[in-house]
Amino acid sequence: MSEPVLSACGLTKSFLSGDRRIEVLRGIDLEVVAGESVSIRGESGSGKSTLLNLLSGLDTPETGTLAWAGAPAQGGRRAEFLGMVFQSFYLIPEIDAFQNVLMAARMRKVPGQAERARALEMIARVGLTERARHLPGQMSGGERQRVAVARALMNSPRLLLADEPTGNLDEHTGDAVIELLLGLCRETQTALVLVTHNAAYAQKTNRQLFLREGKLSHG
Amino acid sequence: MPWYLYLALKQLFPTGRRFPFFTAISILGVALGVAVLVISTSVMGGFGHEIRRWTVETTGDVQVRADDGAINNPAEFLAQLTKIPGVVAATPFAEGYVMLEHGLKPAFPVVQGIDVDRVSGVIPLEHYIHYGSLADLDDDSIILSVQLAMAVGARVGDKVEIHTPLEYEKFKNDEVLVPRELRVTGIFEIGHPALDSSLVLVTLRTMQDLYGRRGSVDGFNLKISPGLDADTAAARINAALPPALHGHARSWMEINHDLIFIIQLEQNMIFFLLTFIIIVAAFSVTSSLLISVVRKTREIGLLGALGGQPRQVAACFCFQGFIIGLGGTIAGFGLGFTVLHFRNGIIYLFTRLTQSEAALARFYQFKELPRYSDPSYMIAIVVCTIVICTLAGLLPAWGAARLKPVEALRSE
Ligand SMILES: Nc1ncnc2c1ncn2[C@@H]1O[C@H](COP(=O)(O)OP(=O)(O)OP(=O)(O)O)[C@@H](O)[C@H]1O
Ligand SMILES: [Mg+2]
C-alpha cells in the first residue's frame, strides 16, 4: 500500500463559548491514500467544517499531528498540495470564470502559457467552455460551483477537501457536481474528503465515516 | 504580475465594467487635490519668475552702487568693473524724481538716465519699447512708460516739460524758472504696473543736467556671463573692486530679497496647506477600501485557503491605494496643466463676471497670470500624492491581513 496522502493523528480542537469550553474534536485519526474518496457525515454542529479546516492547515489543532504526503503540513505547501471546495462558491466577482480558475495557479507563480492552457482544460472538464469569459454574477449556482471545482483541481492537488459542496444547490445540480467531483478525482488519482449530509452521495465514496461526539467512526 | 497586484487591479477595474464607480470617484478626488496643488504652486512660481524677469531685465543681474551716494569717476569705475571676469557688460545709470507735465496734467515719475550705447548690452530695453525706438533717444528727448504716457496723454512726438528740484534751488536765488522741454521718442511697457506707471528714461547726460550732477552716476547695472550665479558674481565683484572705489555689488536676489522670501514662503505654505486636500481625499480612499475589505471578507478568507499569505493580501490593498494615487496624480496633472494653459481666458472670464480686472492688476501687479511649474514642486506633488495614497491603503490592508481565513470563511 502506498504512503498516505493525508495522515492525521489524535487531532483535538475546542472553542471557548462564553466561559464554557466546547470540545468539538476529541482525537481524530484519519488516513487517506491516493485515489481514495472518503465521506464524512454528522449532525450540524458536530465539527465537520472544523475538522476540514484542520486538515487543510487553515486552522491549527490543539494536540495531534498532521502530515501531508508524509511531511508535516505547512501553510506554504497548501496551494500545491490541496484544493478546497466549499458550500459557498467564493468566486472572485470581478474576474471571469477562466481567471478565477487561473487564480489558483497565480497564487503559486506568474501564470504562463502552460497554466493558461491548463485552466482552459479544467474549464472544459467541468463543461463550461462556453462560459469561460463570463463573470460569476452571470452564472447559475451549479455553474459557479463547477468553476470552484475546476479551480480546486487547477494545480493538480494530491488532496481535495469538499465541505458540503452541494449545500447551496438543488438536487439535480448537486448530483451533477458530485458526479463531476468523484469522476475527476478518480481520473486524476486525487484523494477526496467529502463532507455531506446526503447519504446517497456518501454511498458513492470508497469509505463512509461519521463524526460523532468529536470522534470519527465507521458506519 | 503577482496575484495580489493582479487582483488589486481587477478590484479597481473589474472585467467587463466600463465605468468602475468607486475607482473613478476615488481617482477624481485625488486628482482634484493634485490639480489645485499644481495650479497654485505653478502660479506662485510664476510670480517668482516674473519678479526675476522684471528685475533682471530692468536692473541687470547685479547692480553696483557706491557706498556713499554718487560715483564721481564713472569712467574709471566702469573700466575696473569690466576687467572682472564674469562681467559681460556694464551700463551706468543715474536716477531721481522729477515732475513731468504735459498739457496741464502732471506726473511725478522716477527719471532714470541711461547710457544709450551701453544699456542694450545689459537690459533688453528695445524689447519693451512699443512705440518709437531707443536709438532715437538723444539729449533732448525722453522715453515714457505706457501708463504714465496714458495718464498725461502724451504720444510719441509730443513735448513734455520736466521740473526738477534744481529749479527750486534756482527759484531761491531769484533766477527765472525755465522747465526743460523734452520730446517723447518712445513708450515702453515692461508688464509690471509699478514700473509701467512711474518710470521715464532719458540719456545720462540729460539726467545729469536736470540734477546738476556734473558727470556723476548712481551706479552700474551689470550683465554676468550665463550660467554664473548672480550671488556668486556679486561676491566676486565685491572682492575684486579696488577699495578706493567704495563700490558695493548686490545681486538681483539680494536686492529683492524680501519679496523673494515672501513668495517662497507663500509657495511653501500653499503647498503645505493644499496637501491637506490630498490627505482628505486619501481618507475617503481609506474608508472606501475599508468597506471593500468588510464586503470581501469571505473572498479574503478564500485567498488564504488558496494559499495566499497575509502580507500578500495586505499588498493587494496597499497597491489599490497606490494605483488610485498614481491615477489621481496623472489625471490631476492633466487637469492642472489644462487649466494653466487656459488660465488667462479663465481669469479674464472671472474678472469680467466679477468686474475686478483693475483690482487684479493693482493687487498682483500683473495683467496676465504668470506661470512657472517648478520641477522640484512638481516632483514633490507626485511623491507626496503617491505616498499619501499608498498609506491610505495601509489601514485596510492591515485589516485584511489580520483576517484569519477560517473566521473569514465562516463569516456570514
Ligand atoms: N470560531 C469558533 N468559535 C466558537 N465556536 C466555534 C467556532 N467554530 C466552530 N465553533 C463551534 O464548533 C462546533 C462545530 O462547528 P462546525 O462548523 O465545525 O460544525 P459543522 O459540523 O460543520 O456543522 P454544519 O453541518 O452545520 O456545517 C459548533 O458548535 C460551533 O458553534
Ligand atoms: Mg459546516
* CA atoms of A156 and A185, how far apart (whole Å): 10
ipTM of the shown complex: 0.87
Check if A113 has its Cβ closer than 6 Å to any atom of ligand 1.
no
CB contact at 8 A, B285 and B29: yes
Q: What is the CATH number of domain A6-218?
A: 3.40.50.300
Instruction: Supply φ then ψ for residue B156, to 5 degrees.
Output: -60, 130
Cβ contact (<8 Å) for B306 and A58?
A: no
Q: What does the angle CA B265 – CA B270 – CA B274 come to, to the nearest 5 degrees? A: 155
Q: Is A134 on the interface with B (CB under 8 A)?
A: no
pLDDT at B339: 94
CB contact at 8 A, B238 and B126: no
pLDDT at A1: 54
Please list, residue by residue across B310-330, b when 16 or more beta carbons sit within 10 angstroms of its beta carbon and e when fewer do.
bebbbbbbbbbbbbbbbbbbe
Tens digit of each residue's pLDDT (9 = 90 or more) over B356-411: 766 666 555 566 788 899 899 999 999 999 999 999 999 999 999 998 888 888 87
pLDDT at B4: 92
Closest CB to A88: pick one of B14, B298, B308.
B298
* CA atoms of A180 and A146, how far apart (whole Å): 8
Classified as helix, coil or strand, A86 is coil
Ligand 1 probe mutation, A13, A28, A46, most atoms within 8 A of CB: A46
Which of these, B306, B302, B410, lies nearest to A50 by C-alpha position? Answer: B410
Which has the higher per-residue pLDDT, A152 or B58? A152
* CA atoms of A88 and A163, how far apart (whole Å): 9
Task: Compute the mean pLDDT over every residue in chain A, rounded to the nearest whole number.
Answer: 92
Using 70 as the pLDDT threshold, list the residues of chain B that sit under it.
357-367, 412
- For chain A, where are the alpha helices, taking DSSP H only? 48-55, 78-81, 97-106, 113-125, 141-153, 171-188, 199-203
* CA atoms of B387 and B400, how far apart (whole Å): 20
Residue ranges of chain B whose CB lies within 8 Å of a chain A CB? 1-3, 6-7, 10-11, 14-16, 298-299, 301-309, 405-406, 409-410
Q: What is the CA(A135)–ligand 2 centre distance, in A?
A: 27
pTM of the model: 0.80
Which of these, B41, B32, B37, lies nearest to B370 by C-alpha position? Answer: B41
User: What percentage of chain A's residues is helix, strand, coil (to nearest 5)?
Assistant: 35, 30, 35
Domain ranges in chain A?
A: 6-218
- What CA–CA distances, in Å, run from B190 to A205, B57, B145, B224? 94, 9, 8, 21
Minimal-distance CA residue to ligand 1 atom 5? A15
The alpha carbon torsion through A139, A145, A151, A156 (nearest 10 deg) reads -140
Check if A155 has its Cβ closer than 6 Å to any atom of ligand 1.
no
pLDDT at B360: 64
Tens digit of each residue's pLDDT (9 = 90 or more) over A16-53: 888 899 999 999 999 999 999 999 999 999 999 999 99
pLDDT at B366: 61
Instruction: Name which of A71-80, A147-156, B109-118, B355-364 the model is least confident about.
Output: B355-364
* CA atoms of A38 and A205, how far apart (whole Å): 6
